[in-house]
A = this chain, B = another copy of it.
Protein backbone atom coordinates (compact mmCIF):
# COMPACT_ATOMS: atom_id res chain seq x y z
CA UNK A 1 0.00 0.00 0.00
CA UNK A 2 1.35 3.36 -1.02
CA UNK A 3 1.06 6.12 1.58
CA UNK A 4 1.64 9.60 0.22
CA UNK A 5 1.07 12.62 2.39
CA UNK A 6 -1.60 15.05 1.32
CA UNK A 7 -0.21 18.57 1.37
CA UNK A 8 -3.26 20.72 1.35
CA UNK A 9 -5.58 19.20 3.90
CA UNK A 10 -6.19 21.92 6.43
CA UNK A 11 -6.60 20.88 10.09
CA UNK A 12 -9.49 22.62 11.86
CA UNK A 13 -9.28 21.10 15.33
CA UNK A 14 -6.94 19.02 17.43
CA UNK A 15 -5.75 15.50 16.71
CA UNK A 16 -6.21 15.44 12.94
CA UNK A 17 -9.68 16.80 12.12
CA UNK A 18 -9.66 18.20 8.57
CA UNK A 19 -11.65 20.99 6.97
CA UNK A 20 -15.13 20.09 5.74
CA UNK A 21 -14.52 21.53 2.29
CA UNK A 22 -13.31 18.08 1.29
CA UNK A 23 -17.02 17.11 1.22
CA UNK A 24 -18.21 20.06 -0.80
CA UNK A 25 -18.43 20.24 -4.55
CA UNK A 26 -14.99 20.79 -5.97
CA UNK A 27 -13.50 19.67 -2.69
CA UNK A 28 -11.17 17.32 -4.48
CA UNK A 29 -9.27 20.29 -5.82
CA UNK A 30 -7.94 21.08 -2.34
CA UNK A 31 -5.97 17.87 -2.53
CA UNK A 32 -3.92 19.26 -5.39
CA UNK A 33 -1.31 16.69 -6.28
CA UNK A 34 -1.63 15.24 -2.79
CA UNK A 35 -2.97 11.78 -2.27
CA UNK A 36 -5.16 10.32 0.43
CA UNK A 37 -3.12 7.17 0.01
CA UNK A 38 -5.78 4.55 0.61
CA UNK A 39 -5.44 2.42 -2.51
CA UNK A 40 -4.85 -1.28 -2.17
CA UNK A 41 -2.56 -3.84 -3.78
CA UNK A 42 -3.43 -5.16 -7.23
CA UNK A 43 -5.43 -8.40 -7.21
CA UNK A 44 -4.46 -11.51 -9.13
CA UNK A 45 -4.75 -10.98 -12.85
CA UNK A 46 -7.54 -13.52 -13.39
CA UNK A 47 -10.98 -12.23 -14.16
CA UNK A 48 -13.28 -12.63 -11.16
CA UNK A 49 -15.41 -15.79 -11.38
CA UNK A 50 -18.70 -13.88 -11.62
CA UNK A 51 -17.68 -12.54 -15.04
CA UNK A 52 -17.47 -16.05 -16.49
CA UNK A 53 -21.16 -16.77 -16.96
CA UNK A 54 -24.43 -14.85 -17.11
CA UNK A 55 -25.76 -13.82 -13.73
CA UNK A 56 -29.11 -14.07 -11.97
CA UNK A 57 -32.30 -13.01 -13.77
CA UNK A 58 -34.77 -10.19 -13.19
CA UNK A 59 -37.25 -10.35 -10.31
CA UNK A 60 -40.57 -8.78 -9.40
CA UNK A 61 -39.51 -7.71 -5.93
CA UNK A 62 -35.80 -7.59 -5.26
CA UNK A 63 -33.79 -8.77 -2.29
CA UNK A 64 -30.41 -7.70 -1.01
CA UNK A 65 -27.08 -9.42 -1.43
CA UNK A 66 -26.56 -12.50 0.79
CA UNK A 67 -23.30 -10.79 1.82
CA UNK A 68 -25.43 -8.19 3.62
CA UNK A 69 -27.59 -10.63 5.59
CA UNK A 70 -25.81 -9.73 8.81
CA UNK A 71 -27.25 -6.20 8.67
CA UNK A 72 -30.36 -6.73 10.77
CA UNK A 73 -32.38 -5.04 13.44
CA UNK A 74 -31.49 -6.21 16.95
CA UNK A 75 -34.58 -7.46 18.82
CA UNK A 76 -35.58 -6.94 22.41
CA UNK A 77 -38.87 -8.67 23.22
CA UNK A 78 -40.44 -7.69 26.51
CA UNK A 79 -41.05 -10.55 28.91
CA UNK A 80 -44.57 -11.41 29.98
CA UNK A 81 -46.33 -9.48 27.25
CA UNK A 82 -47.12 -11.12 23.93
CA UNK A 83 -45.84 -9.16 21.00
CA UNK A 84 -44.45 -6.29 23.04
CA UNK A 85 -40.90 -5.09 22.52
CA UNK A 86 -38.66 -3.19 20.21
CA UNK A 87 -36.02 -3.61 17.54
CA UNK A 88 -33.14 -1.26 16.77
CA UNK A 89 -32.03 0.06 13.40
CA UNK A 90 -28.36 -0.96 12.73
CA UNK A 91 -27.20 2.63 12.33
CA UNK A 92 -23.54 1.60 12.08
CA UNK A 93 -24.19 -0.19 8.77
CA UNK A 94 -26.20 2.57 7.10
CA UNK A 95 -25.37 5.85 5.36
CA UNK A 96 -27.22 8.94 4.17
CA UNK A 97 -30.53 10.19 5.55
CA UNK A 98 -33.10 7.57 4.51
CA UNK A 99 -33.67 4.37 6.51
CA UNK A 100 -34.68 1.49 4.26
CA UNK A 101 -38.12 0.19 5.27
CA UNK A 102 -37.04 -3.34 6.32
CA UNK A 103 -34.63 -1.79 8.83
CA UNK A 104 -36.86 0.93 10.33
CA UNK A 105 -36.88 0.49 14.11
CA UNK A 106 -39.90 -1.16 15.73
CA UNK A 107 -41.76 -0.65 18.99
CA UNK A 108 -44.95 -2.61 19.54
CA UNK A 109 -47.18 -2.85 22.57
CA UNK A 110 -49.01 -6.00 21.48
CA UNK A 111 -47.45 -7.22 18.25
CA UNK A 112 -48.19 -6.41 14.63
CA UNK A 113 -51.82 -6.84 13.58
CA UNK A 114 -52.42 -8.35 10.16
CA UNK A 115 -54.92 -5.82 8.81
CA UNK A 116 -56.99 -6.24 5.67
CA UNK A 117 -56.87 -2.74 4.20
CA UNK A 118 -60.27 -3.16 2.55
CA UNK A 119 -61.84 -3.69 5.97
CA UNK A 120 -59.95 -0.94 7.81
CA UNK A 121 -61.84 2.21 8.86
CA UNK A 122 -60.87 5.49 10.49
CA UNK A 123 -63.48 7.14 12.74
CA UNK A 124 -63.29 10.82 13.66
CA UNK A 125 -65.72 11.69 16.45
CA UNK A 126 -66.10 13.40 19.82
CA UNK A 127 -66.36 17.19 19.95
CA UNK A 128 -67.13 17.61 16.24
CA UNK A 129 -70.14 18.77 14.28
CA UNK A 130 -70.44 15.37 12.59
CA UNK A 131 -68.68 12.05 13.10
CA UNK A 132 -66.98 10.78 9.96
CA UNK A 133 -65.85 7.35 8.78
CA UNK A 134 -63.19 6.86 6.12
CA UNK A 135 -61.98 3.76 4.34
CA UNK A 136 -58.60 3.65 2.60
CA UNK A 137 -60.19 4.25 -0.77
CA UNK A 138 -61.83 7.48 0.41
CA UNK A 139 -58.60 8.67 2.05
CA UNK A 140 -56.67 8.11 -1.18
CA UNK A 141 -58.78 10.78 -2.88
CA UNK A 142 -57.85 13.55 -0.44
CA UNK A 143 -54.92 15.91 -1.04
CA UNK A 144 -51.68 14.33 0.16
CA UNK A 145 -48.27 15.72 1.05
CA UNK A 146 -44.87 14.02 1.34
CA UNK A 147 -42.17 14.89 3.87
CA UNK A 148 -38.81 13.35 4.77
CA UNK A 149 -38.85 13.26 8.58
CA UNK A 150 -37.51 11.15 11.41
CA UNK A 151 -39.36 9.23 14.06
CA UNK A 152 -37.65 8.47 17.36
CA UNK A 153 -38.74 6.45 20.37
CA UNK A 154 -38.64 8.56 23.52
CA UNK A 155 -36.61 5.77 25.14
CA UNK A 156 -33.85 6.00 22.54
CA UNK A 157 -30.25 6.47 23.76
CA UNK A 158 -31.11 5.90 27.41
CA UNK A 159 -28.84 2.83 27.42
CA UNK A 160 -25.97 4.86 26.01
CA UNK A 161 -25.59 7.36 28.81
CA UNK A 162 -27.62 6.71 31.95
CA UNK A 163 -26.19 3.43 33.35
CA UNK A 164 -23.40 3.99 35.90
CA UNK A 165 -20.93 2.03 33.78
CA UNK A 166 -20.94 2.41 30.00
CA UNK A 167 -22.67 -0.45 28.21
CA UNK A 168 -20.71 -1.69 25.27
CA UNK A 169 -22.78 -2.52 22.25
CA UNK A 170 -23.23 -1.28 18.70
CA UNK A 171 -24.30 2.24 17.79
CA UNK A 172 -27.58 0.72 16.61
CA UNK A 173 -28.37 -0.88 19.96
CA UNK A 174 -27.39 2.24 21.87
CA UNK A 175 -29.10 4.80 19.60
CA UNK A 176 -31.07 2.93 16.91
CA UNK A 177 -34.62 3.71 18.01
CA UNK A 178 -34.59 6.46 15.40
CA UNK A 179 -35.22 6.14 11.67
CA UNK A 180 -35.98 8.57 8.86
CA UNK A 181 -38.34 8.08 5.93
CA UNK A 182 -40.28 9.94 3.32
CA UNK A 183 -43.85 9.83 4.69
CA UNK A 184 -46.82 10.53 2.41
CA UNK A 185 -50.34 11.06 3.62
CA UNK A 186 -53.32 13.32 4.17
CA UNK A 187 -52.94 16.33 6.51
CA UNK A 188 -55.10 15.57 9.55
CA UNK A 189 -56.23 19.19 9.59
CA UNK A 190 -58.23 18.64 6.39
CA UNK A 191 -60.30 15.86 7.96
CA UNK A 192 -60.74 17.67 11.27
CA UNK A 193 -61.97 20.73 9.40
CA UNK A 194 -64.36 18.53 7.51
CA UNK A 195 -65.69 17.07 10.76
CA UNK A 196 -66.04 20.58 12.23
CA UNK A 197 -64.14 20.92 15.51
CA UNK A 198 -65.97 22.36 18.54
CA UNK A 199 -64.36 25.68 19.59
CA UNK A 200 -64.01 24.34 23.16
CA UNK A 201 -61.93 21.34 22.07
CA UNK A 202 -58.23 21.37 22.93
CA UNK A 203 -57.00 17.80 22.41
CA UNK A 204 -57.47 14.66 20.39
CA UNK A 205 -57.12 11.04 21.47
CA UNK A 206 -55.70 8.72 18.79
CA UNK A 207 -56.18 4.94 19.01
CA UNK A 208 -54.63 2.05 17.09
CA UNK A 209 -56.19 -1.20 15.86
CA UNK A 210 -53.65 -3.45 17.56
CA UNK A 211 -54.63 -5.74 20.43
CA UNK A 212 -53.31 -3.14 22.89
CA UNK A 213 -55.58 -0.48 21.36
CA UNK A 214 -52.54 1.73 21.93
CA UNK A 215 -53.71 5.29 22.45
CA UNK A 216 -52.31 8.73 23.27
CA UNK A 217 -53.52 12.29 23.73
CA UNK A 218 -52.26 14.94 21.32
CA UNK A 219 -52.75 18.70 21.62
CA UNK A 220 -55.23 19.92 19.02
CA UNK A 221 -52.73 22.58 17.95
CA UNK A 222 -50.30 19.85 16.82
CA UNK A 223 -53.09 17.92 15.09
CA UNK A 224 -54.03 21.05 13.13
CA UNK A 225 -50.42 22.00 12.40
CA UNK A 226 -48.34 19.31 10.70
CA UNK A 227 -49.92 15.97 11.69
CA UNK A 228 -50.26 13.50 8.83
CA UNK A 229 -52.41 10.44 8.27
CA UNK A 230 -49.55 8.51 6.68
CA UNK A 231 -50.29 5.92 3.99
CA UNK A 232 -46.89 5.59 2.24
CA UNK A 233 -43.36 5.21 3.56
CA UNK A 234 -40.39 5.69 1.22
CA UNK A 235 -42.63 5.40 -1.80
CA UNK A 236 -44.48 2.17 -1.01
CA UNK A 237 -47.43 1.52 1.29
CA UNK A 238 -46.55 1.51 4.99
CA UNK A 239 -44.87 -1.61 6.29
CA UNK A 240 -46.96 -3.66 8.78
CA UNK A 241 -44.48 -2.78 11.55
CA UNK A 242 -45.09 0.89 10.83
CA UNK A 243 -48.87 0.82 11.00
CA UNK A 244 -50.15 -0.59 7.71
CA UNK A 245 -52.46 0.56 6.30
CA UNK A 246 -52.63 3.89 8.20
CA UNK A 247 -50.70 5.62 10.96
CA UNK A 248 -50.76 8.98 12.60
CA UNK A 249 -47.47 10.79 12.04
CA UNK A 250 -46.53 13.64 14.38
CA UNK A 251 -43.26 15.21 13.15
CA UNK A 252 -40.70 15.70 15.90
CA UNK A 253 -42.82 14.20 18.69
CA UNK A 254 -41.86 11.07 20.60
CA UNK A 255 -42.56 8.05 18.45
CA UNK A 256 -45.21 6.27 20.50
CA UNK A 257 -47.63 9.17 19.85
CA UNK A 258 -47.56 8.53 16.11
CA UNK A 259 -50.24 5.88 16.61
CA UNK A 260 -49.90 2.93 14.24
CA UNK A 261 -52.82 1.02 12.67
CA UNK A 262 -54.86 4.17 13.33
CA UNK A 263 -58.58 3.47 13.71
CA UNK A 264 -60.01 6.30 15.77
CA UNK A 265 -59.50 9.97 16.54
CA UNK A 266 -61.67 11.44 19.26
CA UNK A 267 -61.73 15.20 19.68
CA UNK A 268 -61.77 16.13 23.39
CA UNK A 269 -61.57 19.11 25.70
CA UNK A 270 -58.72 17.74 27.85
CA UNK A 271 -56.09 15.03 27.59
CA UNK A 272 -57.52 11.53 27.99
CA UNK A 273 -54.87 10.43 30.53
CA UNK A 274 -54.43 7.05 28.85
CA UNK A 275 -52.37 4.21 30.29
CA UNK A 276 -49.38 5.04 28.08
CA UNK A 277 -49.21 8.62 29.33
CA UNK A 278 -49.65 7.88 33.04
CA UNK A 279 -48.03 4.50 33.82
CA UNK A 280 -45.38 5.13 31.15
CA UNK A 281 -43.86 7.79 28.94
CA UNK A 282 -43.36 10.20 31.83
CA UNK A 283 -39.97 11.33 33.12
CA UNK A 284 -39.27 10.74 36.83
CA UNK A 285 -37.26 13.57 38.42
CA UNK A 286 -34.93 13.34 41.44
CA UNK A 287 -37.54 14.96 43.70
CA UNK A 288 -40.08 12.24 42.94
CA UNK A 289 -42.25 14.32 40.64
CA UNK A 290 -42.67 13.31 37.00
CA UNK A 291 -42.71 15.32 33.83
CA UNK A 292 -45.71 14.42 31.66
CA UNK A 293 -46.55 15.29 28.05
CA UNK A 294 -42.90 15.86 27.12
CA UNK A 295 -43.51 15.58 23.43
CA UNK A 296 -40.80 17.05 21.19
CA UNK A 297 -37.57 15.07 20.86
CA UNK A 298 -34.60 17.29 21.61
CA UNK A 299 -31.54 17.94 19.46
CA UNK A 300 -29.21 14.94 19.23
CA UNK A 301 -26.36 13.54 17.17
CA UNK A 302 -24.24 10.43 17.06
CA UNK A 303 -21.22 9.31 15.07
CA UNK A 304 -22.20 6.10 13.25
CA UNK A 305 -18.78 5.44 11.74
CA UNK A 306 -16.38 4.75 13.34
CA UNK A 307 -18.47 3.20 16.11
CA UNK A 308 -18.29 0.07 18.27
CA UNK A 309 -17.78 -3.07 16.21
CA UNK A 310 -16.03 -1.21 13.41
CA UNK A 311 -12.23 -1.32 13.73
CA UNK A 312 -9.77 1.29 12.45
CA UNK A 313 -7.13 -0.52 10.41
CA UNK A 314 -4.07 1.47 11.29
CA UNK A 315 -3.20 5.16 11.28
CA UNK A 316 -4.25 7.29 8.33
CA UNK A 317 -7.25 9.02 6.82
CA UNK A 318 -10.80 8.09 7.88
CA UNK A 319 -14.22 9.49 7.23
CA UNK A 320 -16.20 10.33 10.35
CA UNK A 321 -19.88 10.01 9.47
CA UNK A 322 -22.91 10.52 11.66
CA UNK A 323 -26.52 11.59 12.03
CA UNK A 324 -28.04 14.66 13.67
CA UNK A 325 -31.71 15.49 14.21
CA UNK A 326 -34.03 17.66 16.27
CA UNK A 327 -37.75 17.50 16.92
CA UNK A 328 -37.78 21.28 17.06
CA UNK A 329 -36.66 22.05 13.51
CA UNK A 330 -33.62 21.96 11.26
CA UNK A 331 -30.08 21.14 12.26
CA UNK A 332 -27.99 24.31 12.18
CA UNK A 333 -24.53 22.93 12.89
CA UNK A 334 -22.68 19.82 14.02
CA UNK A 335 -19.28 19.98 15.67
CA UNK A 336 -16.89 17.06 16.01
CA UNK A 337 -14.01 16.52 18.41
CA UNK A 338 -11.21 13.99 17.96
CA UNK A 339 -9.42 14.84 21.20
CA UNK A 340 -12.00 13.91 23.79
CA UNK A 341 -13.84 17.22 23.64
CA UNK A 342 -10.86 19.58 24.07
CA UNK A 343 -11.26 21.16 20.61
CA UNK A 344 -14.07 21.05 18.07
CA UNK A 345 -14.30 21.45 14.29
CA UNK A 346 -17.39 22.01 12.18
CA UNK A 347 -18.62 19.04 10.14
CA UNK A 348 -20.02 19.16 6.59
CA UNK A 349 -23.83 18.84 6.55
CA UNK A 350 -25.30 16.87 3.67
CA UNK A 351 -27.91 18.82 1.72
CA UNK A 352 -30.86 19.03 1.82
CA UNK A 353 -31.06 19.93 5.53
CA UNK A 354 -34.77 19.43 6.21
CA UNK A 355 -37.15 20.27 9.04
CA UNK A 356 -37.32 17.42 11.60
CA UNK A 357 -35.31 15.10 9.36
CA UNK A 358 -32.08 13.24 9.97
CA UNK A 359 -29.16 15.27 8.65
CA UNK A 360 -26.02 13.36 7.70
CA UNK A 361 -22.77 15.02 8.81
CA UNK A 362 -19.27 14.05 7.75
CA UNK A 363 -15.72 15.01 8.55
CA UNK A 364 -12.31 13.81 7.40
CA UNK A 365 -9.92 12.71 10.11
CA UNK A 366 -6.29 11.69 9.98
CA UNK A 367 -5.85 9.32 12.91
CA UNK A 368 -2.32 9.18 14.32
CA UNK A 369 -2.83 5.74 15.87
CA UNK A 370 -2.95 6.96 19.47
CA UNK A 371 -5.75 6.31 21.94
CA UNK A 372 -8.40 9.04 21.93
CA UNK A 373 -12.14 9.70 22.00
CA UNK A 374 -14.31 11.15 19.22
CA UNK A 375 -17.54 13.05 19.91
CA UNK A 376 -20.23 14.96 18.04
CA UNK A 377 -22.40 17.84 19.24
CA UNK A 378 -25.43 19.14 17.32
CA UNK A 379 -27.09 22.54 17.41
CA UNK A 380 -30.58 23.10 15.97
CA UNK A 381 -32.11 26.18 14.38
CA UNK A 382 -33.72 27.20 17.68
CA UNK A 383 -30.21 27.50 19.12
CA UNK A 384 -30.60 24.41 21.33
CA UNK A 385 -27.24 22.69 21.88
CA UNK A 386 -26.91 18.96 22.55
CA UNK A 387 -25.91 18.75 26.24
CA UNK A 388 -23.23 16.68 27.91
CA UNK A 389 -24.11 13.54 29.81
CA UNK A 390 -22.96 15.21 33.02
CA UNK A 391 -25.23 18.23 32.54
CA UNK A 392 -28.26 15.98 31.96
CA UNK A 393 -27.61 13.87 35.04
CA UNK A 394 -27.03 16.99 37.14
CA UNK A 395 -30.34 18.42 36.02
CA UNK A 396 -32.57 15.33 35.81
CA UNK A 397 -30.87 12.59 37.80
CA UNK A 398 -30.78 9.04 36.42
CA UNK A 399 -34.21 7.69 37.22
CA UNK A 400 -35.81 8.83 34.01
CA UNK A 401 -35.70 6.70 30.87
CA UNK A 402 -36.99 9.01 28.16
CA UNK A 403 -35.66 11.98 26.22
CA UNK A 404 -31.96 11.37 26.93
CA UNK A 405 -29.94 13.30 24.34
CA UNK A 406 -26.43 13.53 25.78
CA UNK A 407 -23.27 13.84 23.72
CA UNK A 408 -21.91 10.39 22.80
CA UNK A 409 -18.18 9.75 23.09
CA UNK A 410 -16.58 6.77 21.34
CA UNK A 411 -13.24 5.74 22.77
CA UNK A 412 -10.64 4.48 20.29
CA UNK A 413 -7.73 2.43 21.58
CA UNK A 414 -4.34 2.04 19.96
CA UNK A 415 -5.55 -1.14 18.21
CA UNK A 416 -8.32 0.84 16.54
CA UNK A 417 -11.08 -0.79 18.64
CA UNK A 418 -14.04 1.49 19.32
CA UNK A 419 -16.07 1.50 22.56
CA UNK A 420 -18.75 3.48 24.40
CA UNK A 421 -16.95 5.65 26.97
CA UNK A 422 -18.05 8.34 29.38
CA UNK A 423 -15.56 10.97 28.27
Given contacts A50-B113, A232-B95, whether A364 and B321 have CB atoms under 8 Å apart is: no
Instruction: Name the residue on B nearest A352 (C-beta).
Output: B352
Given A55-B108, A55-B211, A83-B55, A64 and B236 contact (CB-CB distance below 8 Å) = yes
Q: A38 to B87, Cβ gap below 8 A?
A: no
Which B residues are in CB contact (< 8 Å) with A97?
146, 182, 235
The CA of A108 and the CA of B56, in the complex, are separated in Å by: 10
Which of A130-138, A293-301, A389-397, A399-407 contacts the other chain? A130-138
Asked if A240 and B83 make an inter-chain contact with CB atoms under 8 angstroms apart, the answer reads no
Interface size class of A (residues with CB under 8 A): 35 or more
**B56, A111: Cβ atoms closer than 8 Å:** yes
Select from chain B the residue with minimum beta-carbon distance to A94: B235
By the criterion CB–CB under 8 Å, are B115 and A241 in contact?
Answer: no
A181 vs chain B, min Cβ distance (A): 8
Judge if A342 is at the interface, Cβ distance under 8 Å: no
Q: How far is the CA of A14 from the CA of B144 in the complex (A)?
A: 22
Task: Please determine whether A62 and B360 come into contact, CB atoms closer than 8 angstroms.
Answer: no
Q: Of A71-79, A266-274, A276-284, which stretch is located at the interface?
A: A71-79
Q: Is the CB of A62 within 8 A of B98?
A: no
Tell me if B103 and A235 are in contact (CB < 8 A).
yes
Chain A 133-157 residues near chain B, CB threshold 8 A: 133-135, 137-146, 148
Tell me if A65 is interfacial: C-beta within 8 Å of chain B.
yes
- Please tell me if the beta carbons of A103 and B62 are within 8 angstroms of each other in the complex: yes
- Asked if A285 CB lies within 8 Å of chain B CBs, one says no
| Contacts beyond the supplied A31-B190, A65-B237: 12 A-B pairs with Cβ under 8 Å | A32-B193, A40-B135, A40-B138, A48-B209, A50-B211, A51-B210, A58-B241, A60-B72, A61-B73, A64-B239, A94-B235, A99-B235
